Amino acid sequence: MTAPNTPISRSITKSILSREQSEGVGARVRRSIGRPELRNHDPFLMLDEFSHEDFAGHKGTIGPGDLQWMTAGRGIVHSEMPVKSQTRAHGLQLWINLPKEHKMCEPQYQELLDGQIPRATPKDGVVVKVIAGESHGVKSQVYTRTSTMYLDFNMDKNKTITQTIPSTYTGFLSMLKGTAFIGDKEFEGKAHHTLTLSEDGARTVKIQTKDDDAHFVFIAGEPLKDPIVQHCPFVMNSSEEIFDTFVDYQNNKNGFERARNWRSTIA
């Protein structure tokens, strides 16, 4: 039974297996958000768990746990959390929608080394990397135009914690390793599954481990409730805006590529 005055936890409403598929040379991707079972989860458009063989020596790579966060005009926020070993990369790729009023904003780019990402340690055996938002009094320096919390949890076995969440946010957990039990009903979340949180206004999420350690990300954000029209890398609010976006792209008027002779310095 729940003790008196204990906050009611959000529950899990859906569990989606991130099925592995090939994408590019040597790349393997497990997609959850963006699949037919979960086309999007406002404000989130796509979530990929990826791995890549023969990663060492690629230009532009960053180190274990480092973070790159890029806000792109024309409708998307793109973040990457690569974890790099000598010959294999593993990480997450998240796309977040932008509010209508910000879809034409100038591109922005943020990069943090792993040592610059603040950690919360709510108890022994629990470490939370606060990539965006706040956890247990620790705040991130990453700026997001769409209000977002992005927390990377590592929990030893036999631990229980509670994570707060704004009452209006939608959210999910993406299980990377091990098993965790979510909510008062202890929904079992297993590796490579994405678990969507109930949208009942509860302000806490109870998370516990039992016989296994667990590694997962806790991601939540303010839903935009805007129409979504998505085609290739562009996300707008109408088909007409998508057409205009492609015209701008072809004429080098948007994104980092607005200069006709622009070339990446790291590719």
Query: Model confidence at 256, in pLDDT bands (50, 70, 90)?
Result: low
Judged on CB neighbours under 10 Å (0-12, 13-18, 19+), 110 is middle
247: part of which helix (H) or strand (E)? helix 239-250
- For range 132-155, the mean pLDDT: 93
What is the reported pTM? 0.82
Judged on CB neighbours under 10 Å (0-12, 13-18, 19+), 74 is buried
Query: Model confidence at 2, in pLDDT bands (50, 70, 90)?
Result: low
In the predicted structure, residue 254 carries a pLDDT above the cut 80: no
Choice among 80-94, 151-165, 204-218 with the minimum mean pLDDT:
80-94
* Sequence-ordered list of residues with C-beta below 8 angstroms from that of 36, at least 6 positions apart, any chain: none
Residue 76 has a pLDDT of: 40
* Sequence-ordered list of residues with C-beta below 8 angstroms from that of 15, at least 6 positions apart, any chain: 187, 189, 193, 194, 195, 196
Residue 102 has a pLDDT of: 84
Amino acid identity at 232 = C
pLDDT digits (tens, 9 = 90+) for 78-129: 444 444 333 445 677 888 888 888 887 777 777 778 888 999 999 999 999 9
Residues in the chain, overall count: 267
Instruction: Report in angstroms the alpha-carbon separations of 198 from 12, 63, 145, 201, 248.
Output: 6, 35, 24, 8, 39
- For range 231-235, the mean pLDDT: 78
d(Cα 163, Cα 1) in Å, to the nearest integer? 20
Residue 4 has a pLDDT of: 58
